[in-house]
Amino acid sequence: MLSKEQVLQISKLAKLSLSDAEAEKFRSLLGETIDYVKVLEELDLSQVLPTLQVTSITNAQVSDEPKKSLTKKEVLTNAPNKDESYVKTKAVLNKVSDL
């Protein structure tokens, strides 16, 4: 069973803010799921390589040529905060000394 601190740490990594009630609920639900997947420990995986993708494709590339793309206006259609050319977001750096 995960601890409350672990649940809060995971929520921080996932950028989800949880209420105390949610954190407790997820603690129980996640615990149940983690217990369930322990079934994989029954299998001998010592000689097994992982499968990362199921196609036999490797090095899929496209040629590096300029093509018609979206206009600035189209890109900015859905941004909640924007000006003519930019998506606006919260400040990342607060002071010149942050640079």
Binding site for another protein (CB under 8 A): 2, 6-7, 10-11, 13-18, 22, 26, 28-30, 32-34, 36-37, 39-40, 43, 45, 48-55, 57, 60, 62, 70, 74-75, 77-81, 87, 89
Helices (H) and strands (E) in the chain — how many of each? 3, 0
In sequence order, what are the beta bridge partners of 82? 87
Amino acid identity at 74: E
16 CB neighbour count, 10 Å cutoff:
10
Least Å from the CB of residue 97 to another protein? 25
- Residue 42 dihedral angles phi and psi, to the nearest 5°: -70, -20
The nearer residue to another protein, 49 or 99, going by C-beta atoms, is: 49
Least Å from the CB of residue 41 to another protein? 8
